[in-house]
């Protein structure tokens, strides 16, 4: 090749003329006008590569869909799951039954939850349970109130006497207190049970005033069950 032509090629290549022949025409180097531009880009790229390498070193690979139990356990541990389920801490756990608390700690551990995740889930779960219990109790209380008002409208001024008598008869034959046994019962249950007790009392002659052990004549004034066919108790 003539020396003049070779000189022109060298000038057109610029700094790339000093590279091996197989690299001089590489598209990788053509964007850089000077060796300084290439060196600056190399330093910038090297810094970014080092940062990415560090991030990748601390990253947690995505869990495979068909991961084994060992792989899944290692994945959960890498995410921050405590080594033992006993390390979880729930708000108010000292007020719950130990078996309840231990169960949910085991569940949290099997799901791979961190301590913070498990605690937040427990708090949300307990809050929802509290709301449901309060709503249930409010519903029961409303039904009891409605049933009471209905009985009052049916029994009128005999309401207090009949209620006390019904409770006395219930305790006599069942052996427990009516209010405690029906504390969680519905209003309908209380209403119908009260009615049943009063009918039972009328049939057995126990429809007597609960006050002071006094009896009421089946035909006398103030008897709340004048149609009862049972003979009044004698004192």
The pLDDT value given to residue 224: 42
> What mean pLDDT, rounded, does the chain reach?
82
- 74 vs 68: CA distance, rounded Å: 10
pLDDT at 10 over 70: no
Per-residue model confidence as pLDDT tens digits over 11-70: 578 888 888 988 888 998 889 999 899 899 989 988 888 888 777 766 777 888 888 999
The pLDDT value given to residue 3: 53
The pLDDT value given to residue 221: 40
The pLDDT value given to residue 9: 55
Identity of the highest mean pLDDT range in 3-12, 66-75, 103-112, 132-141: 103-112
3-state secondary structure the chain: CCHHHHHHHHHHHHHHHHCCHHHHCCCCCCCCCCHHHHHHHHHHHHHHHHHHHHHHHHCCCCCCCCCCHHHHHHHHHHHCCCCCHHHCCCCCHHHCCHHHHHHHHHHHHHCCCCHHHHHHHHHHHHHHHHHHHHHHHHHHHHHHHHHHHHHHHHHHHHHHHHHHHHHHHHHHHHCCCHHHHCCCCCHHHHHHHHHHHHHHHHHHCCCCCCCCCCCCCCCCCCCCCCCCCCCCCCC
pTM of the model: 0.53
Per-residue model confidence as pLDDT tens digits over 180-234: 888 777 777 888 898 899 988 888 888 765 544 443 333 434 444 444 444 444 4
The pLDDT value given to residue 206: 81
Per-residue model confidence as pLDDT tens digits over 57-102: 667 778 888 889 999 999 999 899 999 999 999 998 888 899 999 9
pLDDT at 8 over 60: no
């Amino acid at each position: 090749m003539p020396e003049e032509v070779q000189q022109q090629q060298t000038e057109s290549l610029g700094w790339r003329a000093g590279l091996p022949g197989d690299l001089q025409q590489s598209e990788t180097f053509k964007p850089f006008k000077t060796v300084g531009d290439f060196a600056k880009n190399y330093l910038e790229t090297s810094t970014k590569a080092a940062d990415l390498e560090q991030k990748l070193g601390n990253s947690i690979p995505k869990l495979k869909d068909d991961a084994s139990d060992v792989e899944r356990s290692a994945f959960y541990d890498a995410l921050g799951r405590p080594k033992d389920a006993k390390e979880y801490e729930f708000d108010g756990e000292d007020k719950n039954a130990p078996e309840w608390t231990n169960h949910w700690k085991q569940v949290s551990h099997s799901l791979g939850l961190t301590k913070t995740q498990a605690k937040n889930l427990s708090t949300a779960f307990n809050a929802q349970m509290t709301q449901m219990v309060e709503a249930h109790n409010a519903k029961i209380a409303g039904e009891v109130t409605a049933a009471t008002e209905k009985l009052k409208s049916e029994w009128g001024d005999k309401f207090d006497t009949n209620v006390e008598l019904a409770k006395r008869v219930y305790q006599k034959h069942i052996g427990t207190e009516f209010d405690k046994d029906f504390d969680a019962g519905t209003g309908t249950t209380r209403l119908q049970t009260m009615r049943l007790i009063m009918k039972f009392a009328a049939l057995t002659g126990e429809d007597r005033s609960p006050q002071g052990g006094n009896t009421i004549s089946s035909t006398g004034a103030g008897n709340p069950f004048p149609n009862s066919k049972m003979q009044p108790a004698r004192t």
